[in-house]
Amino acid sequence: MTTLADQLRLLLPPVSYDGSAPYLSATIEAEASAMNMAEAQASIVYNAMFPDSGEGLADWERVLALPDPCLVGQPQTIGQRVQSVVSKLQGRAGQSRSFFIALAKTMGYDITITTFRPARAGMARAGDPLNGGDWNFTWRVNAPAVTANYARVGVTGAGDPLSVWGNKALECRLGQMKPAESILLFGYGET
């Protein structure tokens, strides 16, 4: 494999310039080194444009005001922090059931949603709950009893735990994103 400096030497007119001459060779090596550094810097900038790469994570968190106030003081792995950034960016609009299921999925949670309706004459059967009053505005997120996030190569940072359990991030994000007039419940152990 040829280096960038070797490739630059091949661009010289063979009769006019000797690519192995000391001064010209040093100049070509310096130019090749500068071009390699510029390419590396451009790669870093390019990767930082995509929040799921983990590059520039502190800047993404600063811009998005993360961690969320309900998660301050909670230890989070690098992977969980990246998931928070991605879910906050994707959670800009929507109030449908599928929107909240997809939002939870970006955070690493597999959920279902149960909605409630009040009993109505002609539709309700004996033994059905009455669900009067505020039940029109209530919905329940059904999540596994224990959600574990395990360390993964390329995502986990130095010092991160090998596994983290809990649903605090799910409750926090969905609590922030729920429609204002709704009542959100969480049910664990069912999906």
**Per-residue pLDDT tens over the stretch 56-105:** 899 999 999 898 888 888 888 888 888 889 888 876 777 888 999 988 88
Q: Within 10 A of 18 (CB to CB), how many other CB atoms are there?
A: 12
Higher-pLDDT residue of 18, 112:
112
Q: What is the DSSP track for the chain?
A: ---HHHHHHHTS-TTT--TTSHHHHHHHHHHHHHHHHHHHHHHHHHHHTSGGG-TTHHHHHHHTT-S-GGGTT----HHHHHHHHHHHHHTTS--SHHHHHHHHHHTT---EEEE-----TTT--TT-----GGGGGEEEEEE-S--EEE--TTTPPTT--SEEE--HHHHHHHHHHS-TT-EEEEEES--
Which two tokens mark 19? 């690519």
Among 184, 187, 166, 186, smallest CA distance to 71 is for: 166
Q: Write down the pLDDT at residue 190.
A: 58
> Average model confidence (pLDDT) for the chain?
85
Q: Write down the pLDDT at residue 146.
A: 75
Instruction: Give the side-chain half-sphere CA count within 13 A for 95.
Output: 9
Instruction: Report d(CA 26, CA 174) in Å as an integer.
Output: 60
pTM above 0.75, yes or no: no
